[in-house]
Amino acid sequence: MWYDVFSLFYDRALEDLYAPFRPAAVEALHLADGDAVLDLPCGTGQSLSGLTEAVGPGGSVLGVDASGGMLRRARRRVERAGWSGVTLRKARAEDVDAALVEAALGRPHVDGVLCALGLTALPDWEATFERLFGLVRPGGRLVLFDVVAAERTAATRSVELVARADFSREVWRPLRAAADDVERTDLPADPKTFGGQLYVAAGTRPA
C-alpha cells in the first residue's frame, strides 16, 4: 500500500511542520487521568506522546492504522518511550468497531477519539465518522485535526497527491450535525505549506 512507502519519509518530510499544532488537537479532547482514547489513523504515532501524557500512567491509548509500515514506526516509538498504556492494532478504519475496541482495551467505548489527518484520507469517510463517533461514550469527545482547501492551489494538489488525501472534504460537517457544541478552530499554519487551512474541530457526544 502507498502508505507503507509514505511511512519511510513521512516524519522526516512533514513532522516538523505538524508537530507544533498537534497539542491543540490533544487539548480539545479534554482528557483526564485514567481515560481511554482511540487514535485513528495513528500513522507513525505522531500524536502518541501528547495522548499518553493527557491520560496519565493509569490511562490507555489505542492506536489503529491499516499500514504495516506506519505501525512499525509507531511500535518503535512506543518501545523507545516505554509507554505501557499504548496498544497498537493493524486494522482498516472500515473494520473498527466496539468489538475491536473491547478486545484491545477491555471496554467497548472510549472517552475520546482523535482522527488526525484521517477523514480526508480514508475511504467511505462519512460512514467511518459515524462509526468512530459511536465509539465515544456519551459525554466524551471526538476531535478532528485536518486540512480543508476552499481554493485549490498547486500546493493543495501536491500535498493531496503525496498524502492520498482530498482536501475538498468538509469533514467537520457530520460532527456538527451529531454534536451540539462543535467548535472549529483554524490554526495559524500557512495554507501554502499545508495545502489548505489546518484546523481542529471538536464535539461532545450527547448523553
Ligand X SMILES: C[S@@+](CC[C@H](N)C(=O)[O-])C[C@H]1O[C@@H](n2cnc3c(N)ncnc32)[C@H](O)[C@@H]1O
Residues engaged in binding ligand X (CB under 6 A): 3, 41-43, 46, 65-67, 70, 92-94, 116-118, 121-123, 163
Q: How far is the CB of 162 from ligand X (least distance, A)?
A: 9
Q: How far is the CB of 181 from ligand X (least distance, A)?
A: 24
Give the nearer residue to ligand X in terms of CB position, either 29 or 122.
122
**Do the beta carbons of residue 56 and residue 34 sit within 8 Å?**
yes
Q: How far is the CB of 116 from ligand X (least distance, A)?
A: 3
* CA dist., res. 94 & res. 97, Å (int): 8
E strand segments, the chain: 36-39, 60-65, 86-90, 110-116, 136-148, 183-186, 197-204
Q: Which of 106, 53, 104, 48 is nearest to 79 (CA)?
A: 48
Q: Which SS3 state, helix, strand or coil, does residue 18 take?
A: helix
Give the nearer residue to ligand X in terms of CB position, either 57 or 103.
103
Angle value at C-alpha 84, between 76 and 31, nearest 5 degrees: 105
Give the nearer residue to ligand X in terms of CB position, either 118 or 195.
118
Question: 86-90 and 110-116: which strand pairing?
Answer: unpaired
Give the nearer residue to ligand X in terms of CB position, either 3 or 111.
3
Q: How far is the CB of 43 from ligand X (least distance, A)?
A: 3
Q: Which three cell numbers stand for residue 126?
A: 462519512
Q: Which of 110, 104, 113 is nearest to 40 (CA)?
A: 113
Q: How far is the CB of 122 from ligand X (least distance, A)?
A: 5
Give the nearer residue to ligand X in terms of CB position, either 73 or 205.
73
Residue least distant from ligand X (Cβ): 43
